Amino acid sequence: MKLHEFAAAPNARRVAIFLAEKGIEIETVQVDLRAGEHKSPEYTAFNPLQDVPALELDDGSCLNQVNAICHYLDEIYPDNPLYGRTPLERAQAESWNHFVQMNGLMAVAEAFRNSTPGFKDRALAGPHQYAQIPELATRGLTRLNDFFADMNTHFASNEFVLGDYFSVVDITGFMTTDFAGWVKVSIPEDYTHLQRWFDQMSARPSIKG
């Protein structure tokens, strides 16, 4: 197995943190997104979606999408499960992960990709070109604030995103909050519960490095 990634990309960092939490080491290949290496004919032949992270399996085939990769690794390396320990916990992890991705991570991505000059006509990742929509950038910032407010309420009575244990959803949430810096948004001062959780996550060896 080889992991194609780009260290600065939020979705690639999610896998890197996941691997560190699990204590797994995998050979990595850097795909320089800034140099457009993900659009090269060679990379496209391997991964038609032209994104990272992408896991190259031993037969040369490609597994893409961050949750598919992490979930696969969680199954084949079952120690310290990060996607839940029971069928119900696994379902709750899937539900929460979806919530954080759709309402948090995507809000930041919409704000970032629809406002950054370098992403002109690349408002969405992947092989198709789509023009930026400035109103979507603005809505992304509004949604991000709503997400922070919702999570602040959640963390008032929960140590982690999912009950009483660190899970993959904490990684998704951490990366969302960190990624918000790309659109110059940090946790509002009065969101003390969200800040407490974020500080706790930032101190983990898998994250602070």
Which chain residues interact with a copy of itself by CB under 8 A?
A: 49, 57, 63-65, 67-69, 71-72, 75-76, 87-88, 90-92, 94-95, 98-99, 103, 124, 126, 128, 130-131, 133, 135-136, 139, 142-143, 146
d(C-alpha 136, C-alpha 112), whole Å: 10
Instruction: Kindly tell me which of 2 and 139 has the beta carbon lying closer to a copy of itself.
Output: 139
In the bound state with a copy of itself, the residue whose beta carbon lies nearer, of 87 and 117, is 87
Structure tokens at 105: 């991570």
Closest distance to a copy of itself from the beta carbon of 102 (Å): 9
| Closest separation in Å from C-beta 178 to a copy of itself | 22
Give me 26's structure tokens.
């995998």
Q: Which residues on neighbouring strands pair with residue 3, listed in sequence order?
A: 28, 55
Specify whether the CB–CB gap between 22 and 80 falls below 8 A.
Answer: yes
Radius of gyration of the chain (CA): 17
User: What is the Cβ-side half-sphere exposure of residue 113, based on CA atoms within 13 angstroms?
Assistant: 16
Complex with a copy of itself: residue 14 or 71, whichever CB lies closer: 71
> Would you give the end-to-end CA distance of the chain in angstroms?
23
Q: Which is nearer to a copy of itself, 122 or 139 (CB)?
A: 139
Contacts of 70 (CB under 8 A, 6+ apart): 14, 15, 18, 82, 83, 168
Q: How far is the CB of 68 from a copy of itself (least distance, A)?
A: 4
Question: In the complex, what is the shortest distance from the CB of residue 205 to a copy of itself, in angstroms, rounded to a whole number?
Answer: 27
Residue closer to a copy of itself (CB basis): 75 or 190: 75
State in angstroms the smallest separation of the CB of 153 from a copy of itself.
10
- Least distance from a copy of itself to the Cβ atom of residue 12, Å: 16
**Between residues 146 and 190, which has the closer beta carbon with respect to a copy of itself?**
146
Q: Are 142 and 133 in contact (CB under 8 A)?
A: no
